[in-house]
Amino acid sequence: MPKPTKGPRLGGGPAHERLLLANLAAALYTHKSIKTTETKAKRLRPLAERLITFAKRGDLHARRRVLSVIGDKAVVHTLFAEIAPLVADREGGYTRITKVGNRKGDNAPMAVIELVLEPVTPKAKSTKKAAKAEKPAEVVEEAPVEEEAPVEESADAGAESQAEGEAAEAAAEDAVEKKSE
C-alpha cells in the first residue's frame, strides 16, 4: 500500500493532490512540455514516469490502470499510441526538469518539465575495462608461441622459430591497432 506523503499536500488534501497531479500528467502528455512550479514538477515526475512505464507494457490491464489515474481516453490513447513507442528503448528517465527562474507575481521558483523523446544512444563501455579485457587475451595468444620456440634445437629450426615469433608479434600489434581504431 502506498505510504501517504507527510507535510503539506500541494495546497490541499490528498484527494486534491491526486487530481492535481493527474491533470498535470495529462497536460504533460498532451503538450509534451509544461511550465509549473518546481515543487509540482518534482512531485509529478514519479507519477508521469510510472504511467509511461505502464504504457510501454501496452496491454489492456496497463491501459485500464492508466485510465483510472488520468480519466481522459484521448490522453491515454496519445500516451499509448504516440509516446510509448518513442521511449520503448529507454530504460527510465522519461522526463526532464529544467529550472527557469522565479515567477513575477509571487516569486515562486518555476520549472519546465518535458518528455525526453530523443532516441537513446547506448553508452560505450568504459575504456579501462575494455583495455583490461584485451590485455589478458593478448597474453594468452603470445604465451604458446614463446613456449614452442625453445623446444627446437637445430640452427635452421631456431631461425624459423625466430621468424615465426617476429610474425606473431607483428600480427599482435596489427590486432591492437585495429581494436584501438
pLDDT in tens, the chain (181 residues): 878 777 778 888 889 999 999 999 999 999 999 999 999 999 999 999 999 999 999 999 999 999 999 999 999 999 999 999 999 999 999 999 999 999 999 999 999 999 999 988 888 877 776 666 666 555 455 555 555 555 545 555 555 556 666 777 777 766 666 555 5
* Each residue's pLDDT tens digit, 115-138: 999 988 888 877 776 666 666 555
> Cell 500541494 identifies what position?
10
Q: What is the CA radius of gyration of the chain?
A: 30
Grid coordinates standing for 27? 497536460
pTM (2 d.p.): 0.66
- Alpha carbon distances (Å) from 181 to 14, 22, 92: 58, 50, 32
- 36 to 19, 41, 72, 97, 98: CA distances (angstroms): 15, 6, 21, 10, 10
CATH class of 14-115: alpha beta
87 burial via Cβ count (<10 Å: 0-12, 13-18, 19+): buried
